[in-house]
Each structure stands twice: as structure tokens, then as C-alpha cells.
């Protein structure tokens, strides 16, 4: 069985690049079916970039 550390070995993050993000919700509840919810999530992710 793989651990999260093994998945990150050798990976680097480069500023200004695009990355794919996979999100799994609890019990795989479908909450990303409405455009405004997806837009809010995107806004919150951008805010995280400003914090770091």
C-alpha cells in the first residue's frame, strides 16, 4: 500500500504553472454540480495562494 509521502517523492511545485487537483468529498457526495459552488471553491483556492 502506498502512502502520501511516496506519492510526493521527486515532485516539485513551480510557480506560475497549472496543476490538476482531485477532490473527494465525504461519502462521495456530489456537491460540485452547480456552477456557483465551483466558482466559490476556485476563489477560496486563490485566497490560499495569497496566504502563503
Name the more confident of 2 and 24.
24
* Alpha-carbon span 40 to 21, nearest angstrom: 15
- pLDDT one-digit tens code per residue, 12-28: 888 888 888 788 889 99
| Residues 34, 25, 18: CA angle, nearest 5 degrees | 75
Question: Which residue is listed with cell 511545485?
Answer: 13
pLDDT at 52: 56
9: three-class secondary structure by DSSP: coil
Amino acid at each position: 500500500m502506498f502512502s502520501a509521502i511516496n506519492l510526493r517523492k521527486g515532485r516539485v511545485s513551480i510557480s506560475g504553472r497549472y496543476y490538476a487537483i482531485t477532490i473527494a468529498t465525504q461519502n462521495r457526495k456530489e456537491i460540485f454540480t452547480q456552477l456557483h459552488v465551483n466558482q466559490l471553491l476556485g476563489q477560496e483556492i486563490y485566497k490560499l495562494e495569497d496566504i502563503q
